[in-house]
Structures are given as C-alpha cells and as structure tokens.
Amino acid sequence: MALLVQKFGGTSVGTTERIEAVADKVCRFREDGHEVVVVVSAMSGETNRLIALANDIMDEPVPREMDVLVSTGEQVTIALLSMALQKRGCDARSYTGSQVRILTDSSHTKARIRQIDEQRMREDLDAGRVVVVAGFQGMDDKGNITTLGRGGSDTTAVALAAALKADECQIYTDVDGVYTTDPRVVDSARRLQRITFEEMLEMASLGSKVLQIRAVEFAGKYNVPLRVLSSFQEGEGTLITFEDENAMEQPVVSGIAFNRDEAKLTISGVPDTPGNALRILKPVSDANIEVDMIVQNVGEDNKTAFTFTVHRNDFKRAQDVLLGIAADLGAGKVGGDSKIAKVSIVGVGMRSHAGVATKMFEALSNEGINIQMISTSEIKISVVIDEKYLELAVRALHSVFELDNAGVEEGA
Ligand code: ADP
Ligand code: ASP
Ligand code: MG
C-alpha cells in the first residue's frame, strides 16, 4: 500500500462533473488501500479570469493583493472535491496552503517554498482521510498569502510528496504523459514512457508547460518519483527518471520544446569597449526584467550589435530602457521584434553525438526558415526564428530526428 500525492490540473477540475470524476478516481485508490493526498488547481480559466479582473482595476496591481486574489481559485476546488469525496463515503478534508503551513519566502506571485509542516496531513492520513490541499499557494513568515507562479500547483504536489516521503507524485492532466513535443501542435508526437529529470528540466524551461520547471527541479533535488498521467483515461503515463546507465542507447534527441512568449531587442553601433554588456544589461535587470538568450557580435568597424530576448510582456519596458541609455552608450540604433519564437531540441544523447546542430540547421534551411539567434548547452540547441514558421519548424525537426509516431519504438 502506497502513499500517493495526486495533483489534478485546471481542465481535470474544470466543471463539477469533472470534479466528480476525480472523486471517483481518488476513491478507487483509497479502496485499493492507498493513502492519498490530493492537490488541485483552480478550475480551468479561473486564474486568468481573476488576473483580468485585477487588470480592469489597474495595469500593475500590487503583488501582495494579486496573491490574495488569485489564490481564491484553488480554495473553490478543494472544497468542491472534498464534498464530492464525502458524498462517496470517502472521508476527506480540504486545506488551504497556509492551513497546512506551506511556508514560502515573501516574493509575491513567484514565491519559493521554504518549509512544509507535514504533521497535520499525517494526522488526517492516520485517521483514514484523504487530504485535499490547494495548489499554487503558501504563506510567508508574516502570514501573508503567497503564490508560486503560473502552473505552481505542480510544485505544491512535488513539495508535499517530498515532505511526506510519498511513494509517487502523480501529475494528472489533459494529456496522457510527456510527449516528444506538444501533441496539440504535432499530431505525430509520441508519448515517452520515460524521460530523464535533466531532459524534463530543459523541456520545461524551454517552453513545454506540461510541468512547471520548479516542480521538476524540486523532484530532482529531493528524489521524488514523478509521473505525468491523464485524468481522463487509464495508462502508465510518463515516468521522470534519473539517467539509467544500463538503459538502451538513448535517442540523440528526446523532445522538442518551443516558446512563443519571448521578444527580441537589439542595440547596435555600440563602441566595442569593456563594460558595455554591463552598461546595457544592468538597467534592464534593475527594471526587474529577466533576460534569456544573449548574442553579441563585433563588426569590422569595431562596433558591437548586442541582441537579447525577454518575455514578451516586458518587451515595451525593455525597449524604453534601451532607448534611455542608447545616447550615453554612443549607440546607433535600438531595434526589436516581438514576433519571434524559440525552438529547442533536447536530448541527453546529444552529449555523445556530433553533427546534431548541422542536422538541425539543415532541416530548417530545407524549409527556408531563417535562424536569427542560436544558443547551445550540453543537452540542448535553441534557435530563434520568425514566429510564423514555428509550427513548420517543429514538425520538420520532429521528423528529421525520427521522433514521429510511425514505426519507432516508444521510450528510451
Ligand atoms: P494542467 O492544467 O493539468 O496543469 P497544463 O495545461 O499546464 O495542464 O499542461 C498540459 C498541457 O501541456 C497539454 O495540454 C499540452 O498541450 C501541453 N504540452 C506542451 N508540451 C508538451 C509535451 N512535450 N508533452 C505533453 N504535453 C505538452
Ligand atoms: N491555477 C494556477 C495557474 O493557473 C496554478 C496551476 O494551475 O498550477 O497558473
Ligand atoms: Mg499545469
């Protein structure tokens, strides 16, 4: 008999019918003798609806109040699910993040979990109850409500699993596992039976929103067995594993991630002197804007072109920062493009294979897709391209790296 933490995402609790279906599923696990802690998200669309309400009042609401607002979505679903469980004769109790003392730092809207007091959950589990916990939220040391960033219920689930030393953390969602790429974009995407933590971390950080990146980090750090499954159909899902030395040879590329949320800025004609990268990026970081990819090149005229990407929501602000410093830097021009996309190939097998980048660039060139920026690490290659070619690029790469469904053995 196992201790399971089961997380159900927004679509899985999107209507009262779906909440009842989740209750059926959880009851079956209880009847099989397992101890269950359930983490739920808000009903799908609810968090966006709440954010839109705040934006009706003001453009940049105070983060503390945002957290008070958006955390309400999960309070609705914990209560409804507990009622549905009780209706089935399955004893259950709902708790908000602060009630189970999920202590976080005070970085509102992107708080990090510091500590969890699992005592209260244990008492309920020992009494034979299902514990239903609101995902995405916690409390700082002054008792303020905090939230963990979009998609944060995944992280709540993994953190509870780590604190309770659960046998498995199961993330139930609207797809039946982690695919070679988003199955909503590429029909021939294939479910992976297993993926390594390292690959999953790259996939998540490069745009595959099936798991929140913090959840994967946390699971890797605390050794939490993590599985992604469908809440709508039975199946094994995808297990996130540590690299298995004895596994069959890894495919070179395991998956393709993409991200449409970025925008690109360029400041050109900057004299090539020490300290300019700092002079450009310090004001950007002081404005609390996160920078992702950076490319700098020096021309024959000893002037640099400095290009970087930021989240699309920060594009206008970043452009204003650059316009503000351009004259001081002696720069010629500030340019930008918010219609870009980043496509990445990910695979631990890349470590031991040469020619992966060439194959990627050839596939894009064959489709007439221009590469605007490139960045690489040991197990990934990312390119920035025009947003309108994103789906074409993902399909071409999916096919050239033999990830398509037809005729390929599943998993590694
Ligand atoms: P939930 O509301 O359950 O947290 P999410 O919408 O956050 O669900 O995550 C599930 C979605 O992730 C899927 O519907 C799918 O479109 C998307 N997705 C992106 N990349 C992948 C991938 N590689 N494998 C599976 N799903 C992916
Ligand atoms: N409800 C939150 C969101 O939409 C957290 C989550 O669903 O994981 O981001
Ligand atoms: Mg999610």
Percentage of residues in the chain having pLDDT higher than 70: 97
132: amino acid identity, one letter: V
Q: Can you say how many angstroms the Cα of residue 214 is from the centroid of all Cα atoms in its chain? A: 7
| Ligand number, closest to the Cα atom of 47 | 2
Q: Is-contact 6 37, C-beta < 8 A?
A: yes
> What pLDDT is stored for residue 351 in this prediction?
87
> What pLDDT is stored for residue 70 in this prediction?
98
Query: Looking at domain 3-241, does it have CATH number 3.40.1160.10?
Result: yes
Tell me the pLDDT band of 95, cut-offs 50, 70 and 90. very high
> What pLDDT is stored for residue 375 in this prediction?
93
> What pLDDT is stored for residue 249 in this prediction?
64
- CB 181 near ligand 1, within 6 Å: yes
Tell me the pLDDT band of 300, cut-offs 50, 70 and 90. confident
CB-based contacts of 297: which residues, under 8 Å, 6+ apart?
A: 304, 305
In the chain, where are the structural domains located? 3-241, 255-402
Residue identified by tokens 């005229």 is: 301
> What pLDDT is stored for residue 251 in this prediction?
83
- Ligand 2 atom nearest to CA at 148: 5
Structure tokens at 217: 């980090």
CATH code for 255-402?
3.30.2130.10
260 C-alpha to ligand 1 centroid (Å): 15
Within 10 Å of residue 159's Cβ, how many Cβ atoms?
Answer: 29
For the residues 324-338, what does the mean pLDDT come to?
Answer: 89
Average pLDDT for the chain: 94
Residue bearing the bigger pLDDT, 374 or 250? 374
200 C-alpha to ligand 1 centroid (Å): 13
Exposure string of 100-122, with b = 16+ CB inside 10 Å and e = fewer, is: bbbbbeeebbbbbbeebebeebb
Q: Is-contact 236 194, C-beta < 8 A?
A: no
53 vs 388: CA distance, rounded Å: 31
> What pLDDT is stored for residue 247 in this prediction?
62
Backbone angles phi and psi of 136, in degrees to 5: 80, -10
Q: Is-contact 215 158, C-beta < 8 A?
A: yes
- CB 135 near ligand 1, within 6 Å: no
> What pLDDT is stored for residue 123 in this prediction?
97
Say yes or no to pLDDT of 408 above 60.
no
HEC-encoded secondary structure of the chain? CCEEEEEECHHHHCCHHHHHHHHHHHHHHHHCCCEEEEEECCCCCHHHHHHHHHHHHCCCCCHHHHHHHHCHHHHHHHHHHHHHHHHCCCCEEEECCCCCCEEECCCCCCCCEEEECCHHHHHHHHCCCEEEEECCEEECCCCCEEECCCCCHHHHHHHHHHHHCCCEEEEEECCCCCECCCCCCCCCCCECCEEEHHHHHHHHHCCCCCCCHHHHHHHHHCCCCEEEEECCCCCCCEEEECCCCCCCCCCCCCEEEEECCEEEEEEEEEECCCCHHHHHHHHHHHCCCCEEEEEEEECCCCEEEEEEEEEHHHHHHHHHHHHHHHHHHCCCEEEEECCEEEEEEECHHHHHCCCHHHHHHHHHHHCCCCCCEEEEECCEEEEEEEHHHHHHHHHHHHHHCCCCCCCCCCCC
101 vs 164: CA distance, rounded Å: 13
- Ligand 2 atom nearest to CA at 151: 8
> What pLDDT is stored for residue 287 in this prediction?
93
Q: pLDDT per residue over 142-158, tens digit each? A: 999 999 999 999 999 99
Using a 6 Å CB cutoff, which residues line ligand 2? 9-10, 41-42, 47, 73, 135-136, 150-154
HSE at residue 116, side-chain half, CA atoms within 13 A, is 24
> What pLDDT is stored for residue 59 in this prediction?
86
Say yes or no to pLDDT of 336 above 90.
yes
199 vs 412: CA distance, rounded Å: 12
Give the global pTM. Answer: 0.92
Pocket-testing residue among 46, 209, 232, ligand 1, by greatest number of atoms within 8 A of Cβ: 209
> What pLDDT is stored for residue 353 in this prediction?
85
> What pLDDT is stored for residue 51 in this prediction?
97
Residue among 107, 102, 85 at smallest CA distance from 94: 85
241 C-alpha to ligand 3 centroid (Å): 20
Structure tokens at 79: 């209560």
For the residues 30-53, what does the mean pLDDT come to?
Answer: 98
- Ligand 1 atom nearest to CA at 180: 23
When mean pLDDT is compared across 265-269, 334-338, 408-412, the lowest value belongs to 408-412
Say yes or no to pLDDT of 409 above 60.
no
> What pLDDT is stored for residue 254 in this prediction?
94
Helix axes 356-366, 390-400, angle to 10 degrees: 130
Residue bearing the bigger pLDDT, 101 or 298? 101
According to DSSP, the residues that pair with 134 across neighbouring strands are: 40
